[in-house]
Chain A
């Protein structure tokens, strides 16, 4: 945000990512790319592997195969704190704010990885430590609190805020991390229409004013279609479609994944395919059987 060298939109590439928990294959060779400065939405029915994908990207899960590359650099084995220092920022599906702290302190925590104050300086609150805190405060007030319109709640404890505001504070905290890629896990889940519209506007503003790359998981199709530049659809741990929002919307595989094909024979064939040898390409198999039936 300040020095151009360490800011700007990042390019994220996921290649051949596979993750399994015991016998359960959550992700099977998923590849996609998030273009710099774009909003990419990752959608799919429940259990499709979206959150597993997010956890692989942010470093909680270690995939068995494949890689995550950040501006060409392989970050697959990095721990979450190292990724934070590179410019990964994420929000959580169920809000993960620090409930005992005020809104301001929560936002300040976002900057942790970029600050330098050591223990002894902190105990004395002297010189550089104080300066660093004051610079951070000024920047947060100017660039984040004003921007997200949360100045009236800055000194309130997070636990006392409404759900929509808490989600906004979580976005504020992610912005304080100097994000080069922002990972939003269901940013509008459980919100009413008005709150959803506010959040959609803030996400677009972040893209335009901060120039951050954004990858989000979302179930609200109205919002996904409205604000994303690119959509990736997952089902059973595989990418079944990708492209511009309207292309994805028209894709028959996507309709099938969400609604089913309406054809019992196809379903039976697919279930049989699932039970068969694990070839890791069951979506391709599905497509084939569906065509056969047709």
Chain B
């Protein structure tokens, strides 16, 4: 049971982790991330890398949609911009892969700013439609700008190399992707301890009074688009190094919906929400597949019969979350924290 959290400085009060249990859990989590690549088999490492990529992109979308209140359905298209930038630089310039990832992020951010311009006039569903339009325009460019994107056949990348070692194994990529994603999540958490993050939330909650407080809507809405698509661009770049093929069909429109669903299921406007949502959306379909595998001895035809059921169950889970936990998985974590604050004295 936790009795109080007395602090001696404002710095301690405004830290990211304020209580001892939080710090212990975070240390355990970090340790398990370090051990994981030595324990998990190749298949789970593949999933872990995919989760890292999706967490990075979902966190970016959460900054834009969850915190700033600007609904975007263009996240996958921004990832594609990052992926193509990385692919082109890898093939034509041969620059170091970290530089390529940053460049992918920057180009995606630039595209994001342009796509974000309508947000100054339109909100909500209208903005969502505008971002859909933008993602179809980008798709058209990917197909037709042959000299850069190689059209429908796409780009086939050489592996990223780190001091001469090609990164081909999932285990190697894990050591690259997870720290990058961790840094990006840390950056997002920091953002909301400063004036920039507060300005985003102010715009979401009440844009008129935000303006009276001296927050320029133009500047901060576009900044939110830039950060969000920078995150998408870096995530797309990692995706490119992961699958090593980038085609116009690599980032379908449904992938944008995947990210929107992830932050809704995880919890909009919380850092934890973006992470939990991306993990849930990536891993649950796999877990359901395992469930079917376990049923196979009992039901001989399980695989054939239950595969469609898997999609239905996944859909039902999402609908269930919207109904029973509208604030998302992050709220469940908060509630259990509150419960353990008083444990064992609370019934």
Contact = CB atoms under 8 A, between A and B. Distances in A.
Interface of A: 58, 60, 79-81, 84-85, 90, 92, 96-101, 105, 108-115, 117-119, 121-125, 129-130, 133-134, 137-138, 141, 173, 177
- The CB with the most chain A CB atoms within 10 A, among B187, B209, B216, B227, is that of B209
B190 A125 contact: yes
A119 B195 CA distance: 9
A58 B208 CA distance: 12
For the complex, would chain B's binding face be called helix, strand, loop or mixed by DSSP majority? helix
- The CB with the most chain B CB atoms within 10 A, among A99, A100, A109, is that of A109
B110 interface: no
A92 B209 CA distance: 9
A124 B212 contact: no
Nearest to B199: A112
B163 interface: no
A122 B191 contact: yes
B11 interface: yes
Contact of B194 (A85, A114, A129, A141): A129
A118 to B, nearest CB: 8
Contacts of A98: 201-202, 205-206, 209-210
B102 interface: no
A125 B193 CA distance: 8
B263 to A, nearest CB: 15
A92 B196 CA distance: 23
20 contacts: A84-B213, A96-B206, A98-B202, A98-B209, A101-B198, A105-B201, A108-B198, A109-B199, A113-B215, A114-B214, A117-B196, A119-B223, A119-B227, A122-B196, A122-B197, A123-B190, A123-B191, A129-B194, A133-B14, A137-B10
Given A122-B194, A122-B197, 17 more contacts: A81-B211, A92-B209, A96-B208, A96-B212, A99-B205, A100-B204, A101-B202, A101-B205, A109-B195, A111-B195, A113-B214, A117-B194, A117-B195, A118-B196, A122-B196, A137-B14, A138-B10
B74 interface: no
Contacts of A133: 14, 193-194
Contacts of B216: 81
A85 B191 CA distance: 22
Given A81-B216, A115-B195, A96 B201 contact: no
B190 A124 contact: yes
Contacts of B190: 122-125
B269 interface: yes
Given A123-B187, A134-B10, A112 B193 contact: no
A85 B223 CA distance: 20
A134 B11 contact: yes
A101 B209 CA distance: 14
Contacts of A80: 211-212, 214
B196 A84 contact: no
Contacts of A96: 206, 208-209, 212
A249 to B, nearest CB: 32
